[in-house]
Structure 1
Amino acid sequence: MSDRVTVNASITPKGSLETLSQREVQQLRATGSGATYKLFRQCALAILNTGSDSDNAKTILEAYPDFDVRIHQQDRGIRLEVLNAPADAFVDNEMIASTREMIFSALRDIIYTQSELEHKRVDFETPEGITDYVFHLLRNAGTLRSGREPRMAVCWGGHSINKEEYKYTKTVGHELGLRGLDICTGCGPGAMKGPMKGSTISHAKQRIRDGRYLGLTEPGIIAAEAPNPIVNELVILPDIEKRLEAFVRVGHGIIIFPGGAGTAEELLYVLGILMHPENRELPFPLILSGPASAEPYFQQLHEFIGATLGFEAQQRYRIIIDDPAMVAREMKLGIDEVTRYRQQRNDAYYFNWLLKIDHSFQQPFEPTHANMAALEIHHGLPVHELAANLRRAFSGIVAGNVKDQGIRLIEREGPYEIQGDPNIMQPLDELLQAFVQQHRMKLPGTGDYVPCYRLVS
């Protein structure tokens, strides 16, 4: 039994998903036998656990073994009964409004995803089919707003960053908000929370009452990176590949702050896409930025990109150190260019249809020991394919670090083995060692980092 303080409560939806079909309710019955129920329980607990001092999904899920969520169909709609929920999600026995909204967002996305799969309405065999699926998931969530000019700045970065780096992300967010830009992040703590927090103040200064703080997550990572309370639009995509595609489809530019393996995965993903021959003329502002103390981090990341993907890949981004106002100005100018480009080609403002995403970037990668060992990491591959495989390698490291299933797999079978060309493995090893030394692989104060990987040349 857990000795943590818990609360029982009954909640009803507000603003969305007031009704469910009898079949949908049956799938979500709290018997614990169905995959849909287990998935929703996991996401709901993660949302209720916002502010946790752990980034270990296994630890978080095990901390509340008696947590349960039950769904009741009523004449006037649905009601959720939560049992043994984390007490921090409540004030005077009332669930915090943002938490309640996000729980029903999770329910909406899980139900829709299940319905699409059951009715076989998804074409997973073609890149166009998967993109269409991502579009429908975002449209169902109300994320796509026609008639709204481009202003969505995506901010990526680590959940495990120091106070100086966090303050910097907040200052950049403030500068972005002063220029009327909205914020989209992975919705968690650290570099995902800072830009949102900073922009709330500047949006208030500019009397922007419809500011958007969009959080995109997926079931495997949500427990380790619970949504921060500033998020006013939460979307749970089915897997990391759909989540990454959603970022580059709805975002009009990307800022990357200091981070660890997950941030490197994101950088490799976007560079791999931008390096595709069909995307080389497409404007997409990409800025790497942090405080002065983070300059060595970005220099090492820059050198790693040069050693693996080459000089051309390095030209697709700009590094700006210790200048939040310049970051915001450059992002605004870049988004203005995106706006003109889409006007000229009659492309939608709210979804980047023109961006070519190769099928290799869309296929879900399951980080098993066999799959990690089989990754081809050598310079004989086209550069965008090498980026795709390096992205998968980092995705596996993230799974082994913080995801429940990955952690259990490492405990059972030992570290992953990643092999490739020596002239790639060496800079990869140096980069990962730097992440460990800088405490970027897990939250500070949660014990020494034990690598979940082994590199082989």
Structure 2
Amino acid sequence: MPTRHVINASVSPKGSLETLSQREVHQLSAAGSGSVYELFRQCALAILNTGARIDNAKTILDAYRDFEVRIHQQDRGVRLELLNAPADAFVDGEMIASTREMLFSALRDIVYTANELDNQRIDLSTSQGITDYVFHLLRNARTLRPGVEPKIVVCWGGHSISTEEYKYTKRVGHELGLRSLDVCTGCGPGVMKGPMKGATIGHAKQRMHGGRYLGLTEPGIIAAEAPNPIVNELVILPDIEKRLEAFVRVGHGIIIFPGGVGTAEEFLYLLGILMHPDNQGLPFPVVLTGPKSATPYLQQLHEFVGATLGEAAQRRYQIIINDPAEVARLMAQGLKEVKQFRRERNDAFHFNWLLKIDEGFQRPFDPTHDNMAGLKLSRALPPHELAANLRRAFSGIVAGNVKEKGVRLIEQHGPYEIHGDSAVMGPLDELLQAFVQQHRMKLPGGAAYAPCYRVATAAMA
């Protein structure tokens, strides 16, 4: 960890946050609901570290243990007092504008989540209730814009990728921007930054104002993937499952770039949903793409899907190698089909209500050692259910790699054990080994990757 430079400062929102009540301020104070305060403190610290090349939540939290946030209610609104804050978030004593916007976005979302869970207006015990919650949180964040034609392209991929892969994501983003399409990502570095950066140039060339660079994240991963400064709309969902649902509800098409286990998790989540019988015939363009050097990665991911979920899953996406313009053209054409489909069925452009998402994809998965070992990974399961469990397995590996709780569990109890029949575990082990060999599980600046998992093959089911 480099030498720390810290600063004390006082900041106020720029018309982006309504006045908080005394109860809400109390919730966020260290003397009030400690868990809510600590959650906001963690997210605030990650945002203030935007641009830092640190991909481990525990490292950041340990380095700034004396960082404090004090929330003050004033007649004019809210003021945040920051103590021992990372100095890189300031220029000549003034907080960078994008950092300030994201800081108060985090405050907005955490206050909203705490209040919604407290007042129980939404029933989170049902699938529809969870979807309603995601809708209300996005609406509260002013993310949903009725009447705007479908043009939000979600880009998924790794936060730690090669220079060539990063440049390719910028080229794809540039082509999307030239077609006046907006970009939504997980808001961090790597693939989450490149398409946004490229799109800004494409939008500028088209003299397009108001381009949207939407970042969706969650507290458990925000420190590992601190928001990049291009994000102009930040939303913090309470857990990974609601974050993933937000992606597929607000996005109109998805591009998947090279990545590691986090990308595989997202990809399997998406395939599991699209393979549900109720979603047959629902248009949702999906493209896997990368530069020529990423061909082995894309092919291996494609083969893994075929070996575990079958050809039907492979037909839900297209693979395009080293052709950014074709990726953008295909996506633009797919969005026209989405628009026509939703218009015919009177579905909203801004929120995909017709998409069926089973509760199994919505319930938060706690990656304890027992839960990881208890996952059912068998070809005997319906493909969309197997996809859900594979997604959980990858989610646990992500937690063990970068999330504070997961990292600490691995330190205390050793690697996770993942069990399943050989028809699934063989391809899974091959894919994970390939990720390690291609350095897709190695964090920048860290030591050689030590697996946080062990694949245990059982007899064929």
TM-score, length-scaled by structure 2: 0.98
Deviations 1:233-265 (A, max 9, x none): 000000000000000000000000000000000
Per the alignment, residue 222 of structure 1 pairs with 222
Q: What is the SS of the residue equivalent to 1:72? A: strand
Per the alignment, residue 285 of structure 1 pairs with 285
Distance 2:405 2:383 in 1: 30
Per the alignment, residue 275 of structure 1 pairs with 275
Deviations 1:5-32 (A, max 9, x none): 0111100011222410000111111348
Per the alignment, residue 184 of structure 1 pairs with 184
Matches within 5 A, 1:404-443: 404-443=404-443
Distance 1:431 1:261 in 2: 9
Per the alignment, residue 335 of structure 2 pairs with 335
Q: Percent identity?
A: 76
Per the alignment, residue 93 of structure 2 pairs with 93
Deviation at 1:444, TM superposition (A): 3.2
Deviation at 1:285, TM superposition (A): 0.1
Distance 1:299 1:444 in 2: 25
Matched, 1:141 2:141: yes
Per the alignment, residue 50 of structure 2 pairs with 50
Per the alignment, residue 357 of structure 1 pairs with 357
Matched, 1:118 2:84: no
Distance 1:241 1:216 in 2: 12
Q: In terms of mean alpha carbon deviation, does 174-183 or 439-448 score higher?
A: 439-448
Matches within 5 A, 1:210-359: 210-359=210-359
Deviations 1:16-71 (A, max 9, x none): 22410000111111348611100000000000001121211101111111111101
Deviations 1:161-207 (A, max 9, x none): 00000000000000000001000000000000000000001101111
8 Å contact kept, 1:266–1:391: yes
Q: What is the SS of the residue equivalent to 1:161? A: coil
Distance 2:185 2:254 in 1: 10
Per the alignment, residue 452 of structure 1 pairs with 452
Deviations 1:332-384 (A, max 9, x none): 00000000000100100000000000110000000000000000000111110
8 Å contact kept, 2:55–2:444: no
Question: Which residue identity does 2:355 align to in structure 1?
Answer: L
Distance 1:441 1:179 in 2: 34
Distance 2:303 2:341 in 1: 31
Deviation at 1:75, TM superposition (A): 1.6
Distance 2:432 2:349 in 1: 37
Question: Which residue identity does 1:422 align to in structure 2?
Answer: S
Q: What is the SS of the residue equivalent to 2:125? A: coil
8 Å contact kept, 1:2–1:65: no
Question: Which residue identity does 1:321 align to in structure 2?
Answer: I
Distance 1:351 1:121 in 2: 20
Distance 1:50 1:12 in 2: 19
8 Å contact kept, 1:30–1:68: no
Deviation at 1:94, TM superposition (A): 0.5
Distance 1:451 1:325 in 2: 37
Matches within 5 A, 1:201-212: 201-212=201-212
Distance 1:444 1:225 in 2: 12
Q: What is the SS of the residue equivalent to 1:420? A: strand
Per the alignment, residue 158 of structure 2 pairs with 158
Distance 1:29 1:135 in 2: 27
Distance 1:15 1:253 in 2: 32
Deviation at 1:391, TM superposition (A): 0.2
Deviation at 1:437, TM superposition (A): 1.2
Distance 2:291 2:285 in 1: 20
8 Å contact kept, 1:156–1:263: yes
* Cα RMSD for the two superposed structures: 1.1
Per the alignment, residue 393 of structure 2 pairs with 393
Distance 1:137 1:265 in 2: 23
8 Å contact kept, 2:54–2:444: no
Q: What is the SS of the residue equivalent to 2:229? A: coil
Q: What is the SS of the residue equivalent to 2:287? A: strand
Per the alignment, residue 370 of structure 1 pairs with 370
What residue ranges of structure 2 are gaps of 5+ in the alignment?
Answer: none
TM-score, length-scaled by structure 1: 0.99
Q: What is the SS of the residue equivalent to 2:53? A: coil
Q: What is the SS of the residue equivalent to 1:137? A: helix
8 Å contact kept, 1:30–1:71: no
Per the alignment, residue 22 of structure 1 pairs with 22
8 Å contact kept, 1:159–1:443: no
Q: How many residues align?
A: 457
Q: What is the SS of the residue equivalent to 1:147? A: coil
- Write out the 4+ residue segments of structure 1 that deviate beyond 6 Å after TM superposition: none
Q: In terms of mean alpha carbon deviation, does 86-95 or 123-132 score higher?
A: 123-132
Deviation at 1:159, TM superposition (A): 0.2
Distance 2:237 2:225 in 1: 14
8 Å contact kept, 2:26–2:32: no
Relative to structure 1, the CA distance from residue 366 to residue 18 in structure 2 (aligned partners, 3 Å threshold; closer, same or farther) is: same
8 Å contact kept, 1:156–1:186: yes
Matches within 5 A, 1:30-69: 30-31=30-31, 34-69=34-69
Distance 2:378 2:232 in 1: 42
Distance 1:279 1:29 in 2: 44
Relative to structure 1, the CA distance from residue 180 to residue 157 in structure 2 (aligned partners, 3 Å threshold; closer, same or farther) is: same
Distance 1:311 1:65 in 2: 50
8 Å contact kept, 2:27–2:33: no
Per the alignment, residue 127 of structure 1 pairs with 127
Distance 1:362 1:121 in 2: 18
Distance 1:308 1:231 in 2: 36
Distance 1:30 1:93 in 2: 26
8 Å contact kept, 1:410–1:416: yes
